[in-house]
Copies of this chain bind each other. A is one copy, B any other.
Amino acid sequence: MSEFEVAVGADLRSQAYFALAEAYNLLQLLMDEQLRRDGGVTYVQFVLLAQLAQAPQGRLRMTDLADTVLHSRSGLTYQATRLEAAGLLRRERSEEDERSVTAVITDEGRRRLEQVIPGHQAVVQAGMFDVLSDNQVKELAEKLDAIRTRLRSMVPSSAQRRRG
């Protein structure tokens, strides 16, 4: 037990928390590397494409996409511009609401996603799940889900943050 843990809370809670942080950071490194190698996309771009691919007709409003991926709206604009330049998505103005922009995944975008998913799954499998039984995975998922739900209720959405 390090003194860091003493300082921050010398108990199981800190251990769980630091394990979570480090696990996520390491996973991120591995995934980013794989995604770049297999398909020339970053992790963020992968998540954006995947969110679009699963949405009805492959389309989502910019704001909704930003909120699901937890990015600032301006950050999404940046990524959308890059993905658009790469031909993996396109933006369309909405007809009902002239303010609104809809992001749509292209066929090329879907192909790129498929190209990259097997490797992605392999990384996640090797990094997270090879060391756990099916039942342990289930228990882990339940606890993380409880935490996620709790945290969602504590963090304001990007729209709420704007209103201040």
Contact = CB atoms under 8 A, between A and B. Distances in A.
Contacts of A126: 154
Question: Which of the listed residues A51, A131, A144 has the most CB atoms from chain B within 10 Å of its own CB?
Answer: A144
Contacts of A140: 16, 140, 143-144
A86 interface: no
A96 interface: no
B30 A155 contact: yes
A59 interface: no
A7 to B, nearest CB: 6
Contacts of A17: 124, 128
Nearest to A123: B154
A113 interface: yes
B13 A129 contact: yes
A10 to B, nearest CB: 11
A70 B43 CA distance: 18
Interface stretch (A19-27, A75-83, A87-95): A19-27
Contact of A154 (B24, B30, B129, B155): B30
Contacts of A51: 4
Interface string A103-126: 000000000010001001100111
A58 B127 CA distance: 33
Contacts of A13: 124-125, 128-129, 137
Contact of A141 (B4, B16, B30): B16
